[in-house]
Chains A and B, each alone.
Chain A
Amino acid sequence: MSDNILFSIAGLSYLLAMIVYMGYLAFRKEGIGVAATTITIFGFITQSIALLMRWIDSYHYWVETTPATTFIISLFRSTPLRNLYESLIFFVWCLILAHLIIEFRYKSRSLGAFVTPIAALTLAFIELSGTTKEVPALIPALQSNWLLFHVLLSFLGYAAFGVAFGAAVAYLVMVTESRGEMTYIFWSILVGIFLIILIALGIDFLSISVTRPEELIRNYFLKSTFRSSSGGIVAMSWVFSLALIFAIWRYGLQLKGILARLRISAETLDEITYKTIAFGFPLFTVGGLLMGAIWAHQAWGRYWGWDPKETWSLITWFVYALYLHSRFVAGWRGKKVAIIAIAGFISIIFTYLGVNLLLSGLHAYS
């Protein structure tokens, strides 16, 4: 069995787990919760095996092309963290791992309904954006021992921030009381935009055929909806989007009703947001920024060059530094800091996807 099939099985498991977690939220039956956890663990194990298989395959390929390297170096050079596809897969793996740890530590399953959608959306994004799944040859700039540590720590950080994001969204859903509140409008529009971009990507994927998978987003992003040459389609896209956001806004309070019946408290969600950010921040700073700078110095001759990717990582860092300082020094609590946690993760999405797909720069490969 190839690793791609196993990755698909894992992806489907997470999708199923997301539905079952939501069912658990709605019906509060312990059995459903156990089922959701079991499916998640099954998906996690499958994905771990797939990752290992890909690593072993890549190892053999590397040894074949470069017989002179030692075992450890070959292992480093064949780490499956070389392109967008592999790193997104690894992000999902980290995210699920972080979720499982929190589930067992806090003995609370509710967060699953907010974290598994991030995993499912990422996997849906991989499929819809047509990201290449081929095992890539490692280009010279990536042939460094920093690759493993830089990417590993960055993504552990991203995963922690992802959980913080899920908890912050859940927190906002839980504490908003009425449709007129700014925070309520904020999260309903946020969820709406996520869904709309995903749907638009799906329509791009179905209606445009390209020879090279990466071209789809680079050249045809939203071309079959918002950026279509036909004015009618553009208008329809906007109408449909606004209708969707309106529907989420109109019926979003129901979600709060469901959450309110749960044993998880808003304070716990707030604490999970803080804890995961306090865990992710040092990892991201050291792994993402510092190791990235040292590696850049060795590969490109400068430790900082205001390349779009570097700059966006720094923006992300500013946002989480803002979270920590506003919470600890300024004493902000509740909705305000939850919004900062959400802004931080949006910045990560842009650092990771926006920069690669929409802007140019030295980090073009990942």
Chain B
Amino acid sequence: MEDKERISISDKVWSFFASVKLTIAVLIVLALTSIIGTIIEQSADPSSNIRLLAKFFGDSLAPTVYNIFLRLGFMDMYHSWWFILLLVLFCTNLIVCSLERLPKTLKLINTPLKPLQKNVINTLPLRKELLVNADLKTVRNEVLNNLTMAGFRISESAEGDSIQLYSQKGKYSRLGLYVVHLSILLIFIGAIIGALFGFDGFLNLPEGGSSDVAYTREGRTIPLGFTIKCNWYDTKYYPWSDTPQEFQSEVVIIEGGREVLKKSIKVNHPITYKGITFYQSSYGMVPEAEGEFHIKVTPNGGEGKILHLKLGDTFEIPGTKIKGAIVNFSPALTRDLHTGMFYTYTEQMVNPAIAIRLTDAGKETLGGWILRRYPETGILPEGHKIDFIDYWGVEYTGLQVSRDPGVWLIYLACAIMSIGLYIAFFISHRKIWIILRSEKNSVRISLGGSVSKNRISFERDIEKMLSKVSQTIKGRGKK
């Protein structure tokens, strides 16, 4: 009695999870609730969302609504208990449905094809009839030949004056949807592994600075197990525009006091060392930093020399009496079109420039601004050249630092899902039965077929095959 009840309860639970209605309900609820998190800014400053809510509910109600939404987990909804529960429901449903249907599909695949009676063939969704003038053996060979060329492996049975050829192709395509379902589960497993054993952090390194830890957004400190040092950071711009072309940092990995890796990180080109990946993510100016000007001084026809100077330092152009001093710096120099005055238009290093004062044998000569992005501004009338290479030590690079031991599974799942989708949507399970019956001097071809999908293209292939058969036979008759 008790046992029976238990079975019926577990049956009920099973059939609840195996039901398509649940699939449909979960998909609808997932689609609808996911919208919430695209409108309410996730994990954001409360004030920005209260401002948003005030637009809909008014200023006085907004804080109350905010608190209700906060309780409901809407402020970080994709990690809330109910959304995760929905995802668990989605996976359970997917697993149970697949397990429920897989045995039937396997049976369908493993059942060998049998010859069919003429009247059964007449009930198949695809039917064709054709009369050709030739003897049974010729027609049989011709049909067999064409089917084999189309990739069918033919079985044959003979009854009296008729032959039946039958075959199927692509039966394993029925497994495609299970492959897709499996890959979805692998993605979830990969995501769980990443969430449990990985981390997602950041690290801001000033030029020349180094660190052996990274930080998570929640404020945790994560030891890297090695030291990473930023040699320099640079933004490259498209010519004559302020649209960035490349954000780039050169970093060095130091382990046990030794440099083990030196590489530049760009957007779309992260580096990975010992499972930890560094991405170029942001940049900025270090507040109140005093940097070092790297300039290259090249006398006319001579060798260039690189100098590292501070603001106010002087230098000379080798082999001449010209002396220079860096007297000013602008991170983003531009000139007002009306007044002709130079000014700095942003604190970011968009168009860095140094002002140089020059003296020739003690007499002041032509100086001025030298812009890094426009090296021609550094050519002196005598042909000497001063290149402004970098104002080093004032920028920091913002690196995203993460370790995700589940990511390989995600990549694998992507590959499996692509294959599964291809099989599920572009390959069809085709079955074909052909009865060849002698009638006086000719043979009647009665064909029947069924297909799991893409009926039209199967029909077209069959028509093509039949017309090829009849044409070849006609051609032979003429000879």
Best-buried of A138, A302, A355 by chain B (most CB within 10 Å):
A302
Instruction: Check if B418 sits within 8 Å of A299, measured CB to CB.
Output: no
| Tally of B interface residues using CB under 8 Å | 52
Find out whether the CB atom of A298 lies under 8 angstroms from the CB atom of B268. yes
Say how far A337's CB is from chain B's closest CB, in angstroms: 11
CA distance A318 to B25 in the complex (A): 11
Among B1-9, B304-312, B379-387, B421-429, the stretch that binds chain A is B421-429
**Chain B residues near A297 (CB, 8 Å)?**
407, 410
Residues from chain A with Cβ under 8 Å of B238 in the complex: 65, 137
Q: Does A312 contact B (CB under 8 A)?
A: yes
**B42 cross-chain contacts in A, Cβ below 8 A:** 306
Q: Which of A13-21, A51-59, A164-172, A319-327 contacts B (4 or more CB under 8 A)?
A: A319-327
Q: Are A300 and B245 in contact (CB-based, < 8 A)? A: no
Whether A144 sits at the interface, judged by CB under 8 Å, is: yes
| Pair A303/B400 contact, Cβ less than 8 Å | no
What residue of chain A has the Cβ atom nearest to residue B33's Cβ? A315
In the assembled complex, A311 has its CB within 8 A of some CB on chain B = yes
- A142–B269 Cα distance when bound, in Å, is 12
Complex Cα distance, B181 from A325, in Å, reads 13
The answer for the CA separation of A299 and B200 in the assembled complex, in Å, is: 14
Across the interface, do A299 and B34 meet the contact criterion of CB distance under 8 Å? no
Categorize the interface residue count of chain A.
35 or more
B343 in contact (CB, < 8 A):
no
- Indicate which residue in A136, A140, A293, A303 contacts B245 across the interface (CB closer than 8 Å): A140
Verify B426–A301 contact, CB threshold 8 A. no
Interface flags, B139-171, vs A, CB<8A=1, else 0 = 000000000000000000000000000000000
The listed residue with most B CB atoms (<10 A of its CB), out of A281, A290, A299, A319, is A290
Nearest-neighbor residue (CB-CB) of B278 within chain A:
A301
Partner pick for A286 among B28, B191, B417, CB 8 A cutoff: B417
Mark out the residues of chain A between 261 and 289 whose CB falls within 8 Å of any chain B CB in the assembled complex: 278-279, 281-282, 285-286
Q: Could you tell me the distance between the alpha carbons of A72 and B335 in the complex, rounded to whole angstroms?
A: 39
Partner of B281, one of A281, A301, A304, A359: A301
With A139-B243, A299-B268, A301-B279 as given contacts, are A294 and B38 in contact (CB-CB < 8 Å)?
A: no
Contact: B414 with A290, CB < 8 Å?
A: yes
Question: In the complex, which of the residues B41, B245, B280 has the most CB atoms of chain A within 10 Å of its own CB atom?
Answer: B245
Q: List A contacts of B407 (CB < 8 A).
A: 297, 303
The residue in chain B whose Cβ has the minimal distance to the Cβ of A310 is B38
Q: Are B24 and A326 in contact, CB atoms less than 8 angstroms apart?
A: yes
Chain A CB within 8 A of B127 CB: no
A207: B residues at CB distance < 8 A: none
> A290 to B267, Cβ gap below 8 A?
no
> Which residues of A are found within 8 Å of B281, using beta-carbon distances?
300-301
B27 at the binding interface (Cβ < 8 Å): yes
**Does B411 sit within 8 A of A, measured CB to CB?**
yes
The smallest C-beta distance from A163 to any residue of chain B, in angstroms, reads 16
Cβ contacts B410-438/A at 8 Å (1 or 0 each): 11001001100110111000000000000
State in angstroms the CA–CA spacing of A195 and B111 once bound together.
Answer: 55
Instruction: Given A279-B425, A301-B402, decide whether A315 and B31 contact each other with a Cβ distance below 8 A.
Output: yes
Question: A329 CA to B241 CA in the complex, in Å?
Answer: 56
Do the beta carbons of B243 and A325 come within 8 Å of each other? no
- 8 Å CB contact of B39 from A290, A318, A359: A359
Q: Is B458 an interface residue (CB 8 A)?
A: no
Q: Does B321 contact A (CB under 8 A)?
A: no
Partner of A282 from the list B28, B38, B421 (CB cut-off 8 Å) is: B421
A334 in the interface, Cβ–Cβ < 8 Å? no
Residues of A within 8 A of B425 (CB): 278-279, 281-282
Residue B37 lies at the interface, judged by CB distance under 8 Å to chain A: yes
Contact B20–A325 (Cβ < 8 Å): yes
Residue contact A66 to B245, C-beta cutoff 8 Å: yes
Most buried by A among B35, B268, B453, B456: B268
Sample of 4 more A-B contacts, CB < 8 Å, known A282-B426, A301-B402: A140-B246, A302-B404, A303-B407, A318-B30
User: Contact residues of A with B, CB < 8 Å?
Assistant: 65-66, 105, 136-141, 143-144, 278-279, 281-282, 285-286, 290, 293-294, 297-304, 306, 308, 311-312, 314-315, 318-319, 321-322, 325-326, 329-330, 347, 355, 359-360
Sample of 20 A–B contacts (CB below 8 Å): A66-B245, A139-B244, A139-B245, A140-B244, A140-B247, A140-B266, A141-B268, A143-B267, A144-B268, A282-B422, A282-B424, A286-B417, A286-B418, A290-B417, A301-B400, A303-B407, A311-B34, A319-B27, A319-B31, A325-B23
